[in-house]
Amino acid sequence: MTRASNGRTFNSMARVTAARTEEHRSRGARLGFRVDAKTKSLVERAARLERRNLTDFCLTALIEAAQKALERHESLSLSEADRVAFFDALLRPPKPNARLRSALRRESARIEP
């Protein structure tokens, strides 16, 4: 295993490249978008610094951004007071009021003909 000045090993890079090549073969769907020249230059420079091709660099960045967006929208962060209130409502829910009972009757009538 040969270590480069940047700390990377050539052996690891070969394995990653082989895995990426296999991944490229299995891709069937396409995404296409246009960017301005300044953005393209920026992304190309970053890809070169990472020693990756443009498609691989963009795909990795796109996947990471999508995963972070999903995590933000699929998780709930609560303060300690909000957490206590949330679990209290789950464990000791309030009794249904007239509006809630009415909404349940309307919905039940709509669902059950």
pLDDT single digits (tens) 65-113: 999 999 999 988 899 999 999 999 999 998 999 999 999 999 998 887 6
**Residue-range domain boundaries for the chain:** 1-30, 31-111
Look at phi and psi of residue 52 and say left if phi exceeds 0, alpha if psi is from -120 to 50, else beta.
beta
Residue 32: Cβ-neighbour burial (10 angstroms; 0-12, 13-18, 19+):
exposed
What is the distance between the alpha carbons of residues 66 and 60, in angstroms, rounded to a whole number? 10
Assign 9 to helix, strand or coil: strand
pTM of structure? 0.50
Q: If you average pLDDT over residues 23-37, what whole number do you get?
A: 81
Q: Tokens representing 108? A: 């039940």
